[in-house]
Amino acid sequence: MKSVLLLYMSQGGHTARICRRICESIAASGGRGEMMDITEATREGVSWDDYDVLVLGAPVFYGTYDKSVFEFITAYRDKLETKPNAFFNVSVVARTPEKSTVEGNRYMQKFLELSPWKPGDLKVFAGKVDYPSWGWLDTLAIQMIMKYTKGPTDRTAVIDFTDWDDVSAYGRHLLTLAG
Ligand SMILES: Cc1cc2nc3c(=O)[nH]c(=O)nc-3n(C[C@H](O)[C@H](O)[C@H](O)COP(=O)(O)O)c2cc1C
């Protein structure tokens, strides 16, 4: 049975939810998908040999990624490169078709510039606007990003922009990377 490890960083839980759906999709296709927070992976260690495909997923914060993501990559780049590997990002600007592609999503381009690890496979997902869960400063900043990109600015808005069928399809795609 082919196995996929999803390593992820998630502040608000949405990227974790995406990983969960990917695991479900992999299981439904006869594979084994496991997910692990990168903090846990760093603390507990990873049984790298147990997996056929290694995936890292991270949300975008203020145009970049949490520093723990780059710290993880720096520490484990050699491990990530030993197997077929993939990276996906999650952002709310990716809700539009032109910013949902690897080429059109500037956060993905930024990742490729900043990361010493160049993943073999890339994917962009739209995330979630969740103003009520965010502090006033984050809310204000994201309202500005949304105003600029013609998105929702109502501070009571909770909108899930993720295409969940696409997430399931990505799970099946990851299995094909195992060869
Ligand atoms: C502090 C903060 C900053 C964010 N900055 C951006 C941004 O610059 N561009 C963007 O498209 N989305 C931005 N987002 C939206 C997140 O990428 C989106 O909510 C994602 O689903 C969060 O994933 P998580 O729940 O796994 O943390 C931001 C969210 C927060 C809370």
The span from the CA of 155 to the CA of 138, in Å, is: 11
- 12 pLDDT band, cuts 50/70/90, is very high
Query: Ligand 1 in contact with 48 (CB < 6 A)?
Result: no
Determine the distance separating the centroid of ligand 1 and the alpha carbon of 1, expressed in angstroms: 35
Amino acid, res. 137: L
Q: Which atom of ligand 1 is closest in space to residue 149's alpha carbon?
A: 11
Task: Kindly give, in sequence order, each residue whose CB lies less than 8 Å from that of residue 123, ignoring residues fewer than 6 positions away.
Answer: 86, 87, 88, 89, 102, 170
Q: Which domains does the chain have, with CATH numbers?
A: 3-127+164-177 (3.40.50.360), 131-161 (no CATH)
> Over the stretch 61-75, which tens digit does the pLDDT of each residue have?
999 999 999 999 999
Average model confidence (pLDDT) for the chain?
97
> Over the stretch 136-157, which tens digit does the pLDDT of each residue have?
999 999 999 999 989 999 999 9
Determine the distance separating the centroid of ligand 1 and the alpha carbon of 98, expressed in angstroms: 18
Helix 14-28 to helix 164-177 angle (10° resolution) is: 60
Amino acid, res. 117: W
